[in-house]
């Protein structure tokens, strides 16, 4: 049973959402992609593959699961380093760019526009039976982010215990949280409690 609902899609870019599959809770890091089933469930949620196809591919990919998962986590790490560098205003490492270009070079297929909540996103759709094509779709989104967005708009959620990253697409660039439902409301509640405590101690 694949579970596409467990992932965070808050990044406004597919490659950030992929990086966000390494999340965290109070106890530490949480890897949401621990099996090829998880990787396929993520691809379903990303609109790259349909559920029935993902279920049938899970049986095939399981035969090469170690290699596929190692490639997924290696690529995710590389993207993560790249976004950390951009977020920290550091120069991009040539080797990360090389890895991205290597993933891009494997892509075959067509671009499609998908509706995500209240906006549209361009996705690259290809024969996703090949894991390389799934990674190439993610690489394509990363290329869009690098080429068409402002790196300073790549932000990290302001909750210290949260590691999620996102592209701030708000008009006045004021987004602070991965989502209001997760960290925004928690921060609001904490601020309210602090104010209440301050009032009571006067
Ligand atoms: Zn957060």
User: What CATH number does residue 81 fall under?
Assistant: 1.10.3300.10
**Do 187 and 158 contact (CB within 8 A), yes or no?**
yes
For ligand 1, the distance from its centroid to the CA atom of residue 160, given in whole angstroms, is 8
Do the domain assignments include residue 133?
Answer: yes
Compute the distance from residue 55 Cα to the ligand 1 centre, in Å. 30
CA of 26 to the centre of ligand 1 (A): 12
Distance 64 CA to ligand 1 centre (A): 33
Query: In angstroms, what is the span from residue 139 Cα to ligand 1's centroid?
Result: 24
CA of 96 to the centre of ligand 1 (A): 26
Task: Calculate how far, in angstroms, residue 15's C-alpha sits from the geometric centre of ligand 1.
Answer: 17
**How many angstroms separate the CA atoms of 174 and 114, rounded?**
26
Q: Nearest-CA neighbor of 7 among 168, 164, 144, 173?
A: 164
pLDDT at 151: 84
Ligand 1 centroid distance, CA of 4 (Å): 19
The one-digit pLDDT tens for each residue of the chain (202 residues) are: 899 999 999 999 999 999 999 999 888 899 999 999 999 999 999 998 999 999 999 999 999 999 999 999 999 999 999 999 999 888 888 999 999 999 999 988 888 899 988 899 887 677 878 999 999 999 999 999 999 998 889 999 999 889 999 999 999 999 999 998 889 887 677 777 777 777 777 6
Question: What is the domain extent for residue 82?
Answer: 4-175
For residue 33, tell me if it sits in a domain: yes
Q: How much distance in Å is there from the Cα of 17 to the middle of ligand 1? A: 13
Residue 159 and residue 186 in contact, taking contact as beta carbons nearer than 8 Å: yes
Measured in whole angstroms, the distance separating CA 182 from the mean position of its chain's CA atoms is 16
Residue 113 lies in a domain: yes
Q: Do the domain assignments include residue 148?
A: yes
**N-term to C-term CA, the chain:** 56
CA distance 86 to 22: 18
pLDDT, position 55: 96
Q: Is 114 helix (H, G, I), strand (E, B) or coil?
A: strand
> Does 181 reside within a domain?
no
Q: What is the pLDDT of residue 202?
A: 64
Per the domain annotation, does 189 fall within a domain?
Answer: no
Nearest alpha carbon to residue 46 among 122, 151, 109: 122
What is the tally of structural domains in the chain?
A: 1
CA of residue 33 to ligand 1 center, whole Å: 19
Q: How far is CA 154 from CA 142, 150, 166, 178, 180, in A?
A: 12, 8, 6, 12, 18
């Amino acid at each position: 049973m694949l579970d596409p609902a467990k992932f965070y899609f808050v990044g406004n870019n597919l490659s950030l959402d992929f990086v966000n599959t390494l999340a965290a809770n109070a106890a530490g890091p949480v890897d949401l992609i621990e099996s090829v089933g998880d990787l396929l469930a993520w691809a379903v949620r990303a609109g790259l593959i349909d559920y029935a196809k993902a279920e049938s591919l899970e049986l095939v990919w399981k035969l090469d699961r170690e290699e596929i998962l190692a490639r997924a986590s290696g690529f995710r790490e590389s993207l993560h380093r790249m976004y950390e560098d951009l977020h920290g205003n550091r120069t991009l490492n040539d080797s990360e760019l090389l890895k991205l270009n290597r993933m891009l070079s494997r892509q075959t297929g067509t671009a499609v526009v998908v509706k995500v909540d209240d906006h549209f996103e361009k996705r690259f759709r290809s024969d996703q039976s090949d894991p390389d094509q799934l990674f190439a779709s993610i690489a394509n989104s990363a290329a869009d982010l690098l080429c068409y967005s402002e790196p300073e708009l790549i932000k990290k959620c302001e909750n210290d215990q949260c590691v999620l990253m996102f592209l701030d697409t708000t008009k006045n660039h004021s987004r602070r949280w991965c989502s209001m439902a997760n960290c925004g409301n928690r921060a609001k509640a904490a601020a309210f409690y602090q104010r209440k405590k301050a009032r009571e101690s006067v």
